Amino acid sequence: MSSTLDGRVVLVTGASSGIGEATALALSAEGARVAVGARRADRLASLARKAPGEVLALELDVTDQESVRAAVAATVEHFGGLDILVNSAGVMLAGPIAGADTAEWTRMVETNLLGSMYTVHAALPYLLERRGAVVQVSSTSGRTASAGNGVYAATKFGVTAFSEALRQEVTAQGVRVVVIEPGFVATELADHITDPAMQAAAKNIGASMRTLQPEDIADAVVYAVTQPEHVAVNEILIRPTDQT
């Protein structure tokens, strides 16, 4: 990383909507060559059309290790290496623990926690070669758990734990690890909640405040990855001003 991203190669997961999409566009505008991964190929294709720079669209399911390895390999083959991995893929299937559909727990753990671990594992050899960076999109729920988001919070606490261990393992080799912890951002994230009360609560919270926009988080990512090499921005907590 340097103060310019010109020519740098970035892989962004969860880039078909929300924070991942905005981050991919912001990094592209800064001159990066960006590979974007998610399951909805049509959304990636439209992102590639509107990005200012070169974008490689990759169908990717982060819960599938083969798919993850293939996406990293395709990125490296196409662009000749990898400098920055942004892990934004995630799901938030909020709901109380009692009586929960545990298939939703499995999906959150496999996507938010194992999925980001798989991408780090696959990308790390290339990031080590280039003294690159890993950006983990965690959450305020990675710092504080609350009723109704126990499993989602557990995945995000897990991301933080994994990221700190990773930081200690690779910082001497020049790889920087950044954890971004957004509060409420207006995206599709809450649309997938199946519990009607939690779905309504999420909508009410969104309507009650000036929420963050995905671009606000993209700005934080750009800030973190454009610092001089001796500066490691390890954590950014960013909430809407109106969020208590």
Q: Which is nearer to ligand NDP, 6 or 147 (CB)?
A: 147
Q: Enumerate residues 51-70 that contact ligand NDP by CB under 6 A.
A: 60-63
Task: Mark the segment that binds ligand NDP (CB under 6 A) among 3-11, 83-91, 122-130, 163-171.
Answer: 83-91
Closest CA to 214 of 234, 184, 241: 184
How many CB atoms within 10 Å of residue 134? Answer: 23
- Exposure of 59 by Cβ count < 10 A (0-12 exposed, 13-18 middle, 19+ buried)? middle
Q: Using alpha carbons, select from 73, 58, 79 the residue that is nearest to residue 15.
A: 58
Report in angstroms how near the CB of residue 111 gets to ligand NDP at its nearest: 5
Q: What are phi and psi of 162, to 5 degrees?
A: -60, -40
Q: Does residue 119 touch ligand NDP according to CB under 6 A? A: no
Q: Determine, following the binding rule CB under 6 A, whether residue 39 of this chain makes contact with ligand NDP.
A: yes
219 Cβ contact partners less than 8 Å away, ≥ 6 residues apart: 26
Choose, by CB under 6 A, the member of 5, 10, 24, 38 that binds ligand NDP. Answer: 38
Per CB under 6 A, contacts with ligand NDP among 171-210 are 182, 184-185, 187-189
Q: Which residues bind ligand NDP (CB under 6 A)?
A: 13-20, 38-40, 43, 60-63, 88-92, 111-112, 137, 139, 182, 184-185, 187-189
